[in-house]
Structure 1
């Protein structure tokens, strides 16, 4: 720990500058040694040839050569050292600023400030990629944090509303203000069912997103699942005055999926369509082969989806009309569950709409056997 503390006292700027200084000093020493060991002996040999051997040791030319060598090498080394150290200082300063900004941003993110961004360092492709990746990470962490906060707020709201109704009715019953008649029992039953359904939906969403092993893939007759779903929902649709029909291609192949989960997807899509269609509207299920997949679409003529909501329609707790969805018992996670189940089976779920009041179409695919 003590060694780590001592090493931490020197930042990257100091270390880079020190490393480059060592290189410069080594270069200077090498140049001086080479100049002293190679230059004078070579000049001495030349002088011995031109002058009587043994009399060229203190010749004026010898002294001139020594002075010229000293001045030229000294000047070159001084200029090189200044240039190298200046460049090293500049680069180390740039690297230090970039590293310091990155460290500051990391500290800010650790403190929960996900709006921080890191600017490109301009030191090369690698540094710019690090800055871009860090900024992307901060944005995604911010999105996750906002989603988490929104999810907790939505969870609290969804639980608070039925609990408040139950508490008010129980207090009224205890005070003798409200009689325990069929209407009261109906309200209590509706609110407890709402809580039960919400709990089941949250559990289903968790299983779909976190437990891929819960998917048991085997050959599936999608046409039979559609027929069962239509029979199950037909009374509710008829009671609301909405026409529900289906069309299954005669040559529809078996799909490779989990029949229970595909049934849950159909249930969620039909339940969503029931809430957003009114008397006189139509809901139609069409199943056909599309390449190496079975494609199932649930189309309706109901409320439709505004363009600004299409990209977020499968987000957890997202509602196009929050007040009306809550009034009809929608928790805003049915489509998220459906998407998670479809993708866990290797398929895709998409939504399309021409706009508000012009209906919508949800289409999912499941691989064929």
Structure 2
């Protein structure tokens, strides 16, 4: 914690005190050194020149005081000039360095950093703010590049497949059979899903997605979400179980959007749970709110990946996850929508092969219709 006495204002006050002290110290040192000699000279002159002793004494006092004051004032001025020069050079150098770093950050150099000037807490905090800004911009730029690369990859496969089949149809190598139509339709659906997911996460994170919040019992949300995916779970030979704690309070939720949250979590769990595994969807009281949990017995997540699983296009294993068919932004949509509901989402896992648990906490409260999404999520 920065002391309130370490600011630039406190240092300027200390500098002024130093100027006054230096003047007083100079006067204190000069007065006994100059005063007696000047007084003695005037007394000696009094014996040979006309005028009373009192007049010469007053003249001696005035002369000694003038010399003392002049020396003290000179010392104060010199001290003030030295301090001003040092302070101005340090402040100017610090501001110049910060300005140069800010200019480099503005030009796209996010690896540069400002060295703390140590001339006041305000300057140190400004340096920390500039460094923090550069770090965040650097991370955002890295995420943007990765986002563009992943979007390009996601688009390349279906576009190449569609283009290849069209070329084959034109050249007569392939016929328009039901199987060919299914392939083309599947790739077109993949492109549509990617576009819809990108649009959803962008609108949710920007706060442009309005929510129609109404009181909903958690059991209804759990049952609807489970019913929507039971056929997929059955075809994948993965068991899905649900449990809703008795007496759990209603939550204010947009049925469609929160259904999308649970749907994305259940889809994610199914993709990473092998045949014979189990996924459990529960709702229970948690403090003044309700906790929804999706726990699977699947592949699990290593500890270093957990902080990043809600980032767009982040994949624990790129090749494996692309093979599972996910767009890579389902969990980013989950976080954006949960935050828009005023809740929080987190992920837990004991490690590879030991399953993963996703927890969504929502406050229990009365509904107000047409609440807007307040804000998007904050990235690491």
Distance 1:165 1:57, change over 3 A: farther
Matched residue, 2:231: 235
Worse-superposed segment, 307-316 or 162-171: 162-171
Aligned counterpart for 1:259 among listed residues 249, 255, 258: 255
Select which of 214, 217, 224 maps to 1:221.
217
* In 2, Cα distance between equivalents of 1:368 and 1:60: 94
Cα separation, 1, equivalents of 2:74 and 2:225: 88
Following the alignment from structure 2 to structure 1, what is the Cα–Cα distance between the partners of residues 176 and 124?
70
Q: Which runs of 5+ in 2 are unaligned?
A: 1-11, 28-38, 366-380
More displaced stretch, 195-204 vs 219-228: 219-228
Match of 1:84 in 2: 80
Q: Map of 1:151-166 to 2, 5 A cutoff?
A: 151-166=147-162
Give the counterpart of 1:182 among 178, 187, 192: 178
- 1:72–1:328 distance in 2 versus 1, CA, 3 Å: same
Higher relative contact order (CA 8 A, sep 6+): 2
Deviation at 1:67? 5.3
Question: Any conservation in 2 of the 1:248–1:288 contact (CA below 8 Å)?
Answer: yes
- Superposition deviation, residue 257 in structure 1: 1.2
Q: Please name the residue that 2:371 is paired with.
A: none
Unaligned runs of 5+ in 1: 1-15, 32-42
Q: Partner residue of 1:169?
A: 165
Partners of 1:227 and 1:253 in 2: CA distance: 16
How many residue pairs are counted as aligned between the two chains? 328
- Tell whether the 8 Å contact from 2:297 to 2:354 is kept in structure 1 after alignment: yes
TM-score normalised by structure 1 residue count: 0.81
Q: Cα gap change, 1:175/1:66 in structure 2, threshold over 3 Å: closer, same or farther? A: same
Contact in 2 for aligned 1:257/1:367 (Cα 8 Å): no
State the 1:113 CA deviation.
0.9
* Pairwise CA distance, 1:305: 0.6
Which residue does 2:102 correspond to in 1? 106
Secondary structure of 1:142's partner?
helix
Q: 1:271 to 1:65 in 2, by over 3 A?
A: same
| Rounded Cα–Cα distance in structure 2 between residues aligned with 1:262 and 1:213 | 13
Q: Deviations over 1:79-131 (max 9, x none)?
A: 33222211211111111111111111111111111112111111122221111
* SS in structure 2 of the partner of residue 298 of structure 1: strand
| 2:305/2:316 contact within 8 Å kept | yes
RMSD: 2.9
1:116-164 per-position Cα deviation (integer Å, ceiling 9, x unaligned): 2111111122221111122112111222222222222222221122111
Paired with 1:352 and 1:291, the residues of 2 have a C-alpha distance of: 20
Query: For residue 301 of structure 1, what is the aligned residue in structure 2?
Result: 297
**Deviation at 1:344?**
0.8
Q: Deviations over 1:161-219 (max 9, x none)?
A: 21111111111111112222233222211110100111111111122112355111111
Cα distance in structure 2, aligned partners of 1:213 and 1:178: 44
Separation of aligned partners in 2, 1:82 and 1:232: 83
Deviation of 1:283 after TM superposition, in Å, equals: 0.6
- Give 1:310-329 correspondences, 5 Å limit: 310-329=306-325
Equivalent runs, 1:4-153 vs 2, <5 Å: 55-56=51-52, 68-153=64-149
Residues 1:336 and 2:332 aligned together: yes
Question: Quick one: distance in 1 between partners of 2:222 and 2:54?
Answer: 111
Question: 1:289 aligned to 279, 285, 291, which one?
Answer: 285
Contact 1:212 1:344 in 2 (8 A): no
Greater mean alpha carbon deviation, residues 287-296 or residues 104-113:
287-296
Q: 1:337 Cα deviation (Å)? A: 0.5
CA distance in structure 2 between the partners assigned to 1:293 and 1:72 by the alignment? 77
